[in-house]
Amino acid sequence: MDTRKTFSRREFVVKGTAVVGGLLTAGLPWAKVTAVEEERPNLLFILTDDQRYDAMGFMGRPSFLKTPNIDRLAREGAHFENAFVTTALCSPSRASFLTGTYAHIHSVVNNEANDPDPACPNFGQLLQKVGYETAYIGKWHMAPKSDPRPGFDYWLSFKAQGVYENPTLNENGNEFQVEGYMTDILTEYAVKWLSKERRKPFCMVLGHKAVHAPFTPAPRHRSAFPDAEIPEPASYKDTFADKPAWMRRGFTFGMRRERWVESLDKPVPKEVKRENWNPRAEGRINYYRTILAIDDSVGRILDALEKSGQLGNTVIVFAGDNGFFQGEHGLGDKRLIYEESIRIPLLIRYPKMVKPGTKVKEMVLNIDIAPTFLELAKAEKTSMMQGMSLVPLMEGRKVAWRDRFLYEYFREEWLPGIPMMLGVRTNDWTYCCYPDVDDIEELYDLKADPLQMRNLALVPEYEEKLKEMRSDLARLKKETAYPEGKQLGAPPVTFREKPERVEGCVLFYDFAHGDVRDHSGHGNNGLLKGGTFVEEAGIRALRLQNGGYVDIPSSPSLNISMMPLTIEVSVKPDSPNGVIVAHGGESQGYSLYIEKGMPKFAVRANEVVTEIVGTSAIKGWVTLTAAIRENGISLYADGKEIAHSNATGLIPANPHENMQIGTDAGSQVGNYRTPAPFSGLMRYIRIWLGERKIEPSAGQP
């Protein structure tokens, strides 16, 4: 068991800052580059998103998934069979991989957070100081920007989750759009960087967007597995009868903010029932189709290293940032302490140290990667790093090792139905409690009940075991400098916070009046920033050009979270591209825009964007109507539906960014490069909240 010295969080930060300061002076003896660079290996970290621990061909589940290149890593290296994350959520886990610390230390506690605490240097920063050339290519997903971060000589990334097709990238501070499929594009840049001549050892991180929702396979893989069927998980029909009440409430009424708040005055059902399992559900099969491009990427990387003569001296680490439910316990997503959520794939290939076909049974964590890289590079880890180097396990040595770890999860603002969690996972047991809600604990015997179906916290005979696990939790919190009493993540939501919701027309600008006053009665007046009111062919309208737009401040009546929404606007574009109206940004929001003359409607929910496009280019005046409903989104031209998608529904949280007419002034909602100004005429715009029937329109306000 790991019995290292413990520090308070303040001690962690102070000591870590001292180390960083020392590095910046380059005065430490271990900060010098060694004379013989070939003694230190190259380091390559391939990180996928939401890839389950068993979503690799050699694992045999599902039987139709074939990943020959990923399998090669396992065959020629080590498979860490018991690899876990300390927080099963994208941003906190990624920060833990990079810094070697828990979320409560590096401060990235949810997907809405900023970059890690500067006192927690990432391994790129530390490797630069000992002579490594570093690169970060792909998903960063910490703080709402794509700008280069410290620690990497070469940078290629994107904002937030990014998109699968035609992404906007940031290369060393320069933004541009690239046509193609994200996984392939990132691989192309990685191969190019790996193939260049260099005199220093390198460290490269390749962070894929895949396999994150919306599960979007590469075009070449969209018809893969035509006869695939996914068997019903043995735990699918878990009724939650002995699970915490928050799970039954959330599954019944919804865990997103508005649904959760509205459910707080309703009784919690004693159990939940599941629909019949669909073995051919397209979404689940697309999840595995999306992995195929990842496998292709691994193959291309291996080929590039082999061709350049670097394969034998490169440590390749392949991992996922967290697990993913595929129907276990009737769930999707991750976050919870159940096995499918916290376990990850982890493979390491390094022929000079790792015997082919090695299987490692020890319990390893995402926080172990940073100290592993530092030891391999002959560098010291900072005093605040909480992980353990995997080098002894890679060498096959028998060493004292951890047999349990602390698990933590912090509530997100938009998803209050999932509470804060603190738990312990040992070799044989799982324990979890929910400190900021009044609910039961969970306790599972993993040997007798690997599916985690019987909650022994409710069984009197296991009271002593429950006490033991509580004691373990207290000790692990102390060892990891957990900040007792500090609010981490969003606070609980109470019934008293239930908001008053407005339905009906909430915004109406009739530009024939020559102003941007709101005629809906809700006072949502705009601020005109460029643009003129004109009369053409007897029609009075607002002309926007040269980047002019209308800015509309946020207000309670424009709160679109979990509300049906209809936007209607009469326009005559002068240019084939531009945003007509946008509300929100890269996390939540919508955008009605034109691209190459075609009307498009984009909806972004929890950083995932869904877009629909009309059937023909706009010619002259047209009334465009965009609608968001529970069962999907639709786009209309003069009252006729021209596009629809069931892939998304209501927006789960109100956007933080203002609404604009004629541009997208903040972070992008759709797949375009902001600000994407509109040029042309507008007669009016109306926005309704609540259900509304779409009527044929002649373009009259």
Span 517-549, pLDDT tens digits: 999 999 999 999 999 999 998 999 999 999 999
Span 222-248, pLDDT tens digits: 999 999 999 999 999 999 999 999 999
CA-wise closest residue to 695 among 626, 634, 640, 624: 640
Q: What six digits make up the tokens of 110? A: 């949810």
Label each residue of 270-323 as H, E or C: CCCCCCCCCCCCHHHHHHHHHHHHHHHHHHHHHHHHHHCCCHHHEEEEEEECCC
What is the secondary structure of 355-418 as a DSSP string?
A: -TTEEEEEEEEGGGHHHHHHHHTT-PPPTT-----SHHHHTT------SEEEEEE--BTTBTTS
Q: Express as a percent the part of the chain with pLDDT over 70.
A: 92
pLDDT at 580: 98
Contact 72, 57 (CB under 8 A): no
The widest CA-to-CA distance across the chain, in whole angstroms, is 86
Span 114-147, pLDDT tens digits: 899 999 999 999 999 999 999 999 999 998 889 9
Span 428-443, pLDDT tens digits: 999 999 999 999 999 9
* Residue 59 burial (CB count, 10 A): 18
pLDDT at 470: 98
> What is the C-alpha separation between 320 and 317, in angstroms, rounded?
10
Q: How confident is the model at residue 587 (pLDDT cuts 50, 70, 90)?
A: confident
pLDDT at 20 over 50: no
Contact 212, 161 (CB under 8 A): yes
Contacts of 384 (CB under 8 A, 6+ apart): 7, 12, 13, 15, 16, 19, 101, 105, 119, 120
Exposed e or buried b per residue across 428-439, where buried means at least 16 C-beta atoms within 10 angstroms of its C-beta? ebbbbbbebeeb
pLDDT at 552: 95
Q: How confident is the model at residue 499 (pLDDT cuts 50, 70, 90)?
A: low
Average pLDDT of the chain, as a whole number: 91
Q: How confident is the model at residue 16 (pLDDT cuts 50, 70, 90)?
A: very low
Contact 239, 271 (CB under 8 A): yes
Q: What six digits make up the tokens of 255? A: 């865990």
Residues facing residue 409 across a β-bridge? 421
pLDDT at 670 over 80: yes
Contacts of 386 (CB under 8 A, 6+ apart): 100, 101, 102, 105, 367, 480
Residues facing residue 543 across a β-bridge? 532, 681
pLDDT at 500: 61
pLDDT at 30: 29
Residues 398, 400, 401, 404, CA torsion sign: positive
Preceding amide of 492 cis, omega within 30: no
Q: How confident is the model at residue 502 (pLDDT cuts 50, 70, 90)?
A: confident
pLDDT at 697: 59
* Residue 375 burial (CB count, 10 A): 17
Burial of 5 (0-12, 13-18, 19+ CB in 10 A): exposed
pLDDT at 498: 47
> What is the C-alpha separation between 683 and 177, in angstroms, rounded?
32
Contacts of 511 (CB under 8 A, 6+ apart): 533, 540, 541, 542, 682, 683, 684
Q: How confident is the model at residue 261 (pLDDT cuts 50, 70, 90)?
A: confident
Phi, psi of 511 (to 5 degrees): -70, -10
pLDDT at 293 over 50: yes
> What is the C-alpha separation between 430 and 266, in angstroms, rounded?
31
pLDDT at 10 over 50: no
* Residue 39 burial (CB count, 10 A): 10
pLDDT at 2: 43
Q: Express as a percent the part of the chain with pLDDT over 90.
A: 79
pLDDT at 316 over 50: yes
pLDDT at 671: 84
Span 178-199, pLDDT tens digits: 999 999 999 999 999 999 999 9
Can you list the alpha helix ranges (DSSP code H) found in 480-586? none
Q: What six digits make up the tokens of 584? A: 């929100």
- Average pLDDT value for residue range 626-632: 93
CA-wise closest residue to 379 among 18, 6, 34, 9: 34
Of 276 and 492, the structure prediction assigns the larger pLDDT to 276
pLDDT at 486 over 80: yes
Contacts of 545 (CB under 8 A, 6+ apart): 531, 574, 679, 680
- Average pLDDT value for residue range 349-363: 98
Residues facing residue 687 across a β-bridge? 507, 567
Q: Mind listing the domains of the chain with CATH numbers? A: 42-184+198-226+282-402 (3.40.720.10), 403-495 (3.30.1120.10), 504-689 (2.60.120.200)
Span 454-483, pLDDT tens digits: 999 999 999 999 999 999 999 999 999 999
> What is the C-alpha separation between 598 and 577, in angstroms, rounded?
8
Q: How confident is the model at residue 399 (pLDDT cuts 50, 70, 90)?
A: very high
Contacts of 409 (CB under 8 A, 6+ apart): 87, 88, 89, 335, 336, 337, 418, 420, 421
**What is the model's pTM?**
0.77
> What is the C-alpha separation between 262 and 499, in angstroms, rounded?
9
pLDDT at 161 over 80: yes
**Start-to-end Cα distance in the chain:** 72
Contact 127, 134 (CB under 8 A): yes
What is the secondary structure of 9-57 as a DSSP string?
A: HHHHHHHHHHHHHHHHHT-SGGGSPPS-GGGS-EEEEEEESS--TT-SG
Angle between helices 282-307 and 68-76 (to 10 degrees): 60
Contact 318, 346 (CB under 8 A): yes
